Amino acid sequence: MEGNGEVSPLERSDHTRILGSRAGGGEQLSTREALAAIYRALREKGYDPVRQIAHFLLTGEPTYITAHRDARSLAQRLERDEVIEELLRAYLEDLNREQQEQRS
C-alpha cells in the first residue's frame, strides 16, 4: 500500500480478462494462459514468439500469429490493450521483486 492509502498497481489483485472457450462452455482461458498457448504454438512452428506476438500487438494483424493449434483464433479473441497491461504488470512485478531482493 502506498503512503496515501491507495493500493499500488503492483499490489492489486489480478484482474485478468477471462476468455470463453470456443464451444461456449466449460473451460476458460485467462490472458496469461492464452499468451502461453500462443507462445507454444509459435515455438513449435519455429517462429520467434516474442517478435511475432509483439508485432501482432502493435498492428493487430492476425497473420503474425500461426494458425497452428488454433493460436490465431485465440489471439483474435484477446483485447490487445489488456494483453499489453498484463505484460507490463508482469514485467513491473518482476522488476519490483528484483529490487526488493537487492535491498535484502
Instruction: Tell me the pLDDT tens digit for each residue of 47-98.
Output: 999 999 999 999 999 999 999 999 999 999 999 999 999 999 999 999 999 9
24 torsion bin: left (phi>0), alpha (psi -120 to 50), beta (else): left
Number of domains in the chain: 1
- Per-residue model confidence (pLDDT) at position 16: 45
Domain range for 33: 21-103
Q: Residue 3 domain-assigned?
A: no
Question: How much is the average pLDDT of 19-45?
Answer: 78
Q: Residue 7 domain-assigned?
A: no
| CB neighbour list of residue 60: distance below 8 Å, 6 or more residues apart | 80
Q: Residue 1 domain-assigned?
A: no
Single-letter residue type at 7: V
Q: Residue 4 domain-assigned?
A: no
Q: Residue 83 domain-assigned?
A: yes
Q: Residue 56 domain-assigned?
A: yes
- Per-residue model confidence (pLDDT) at position 4: 52
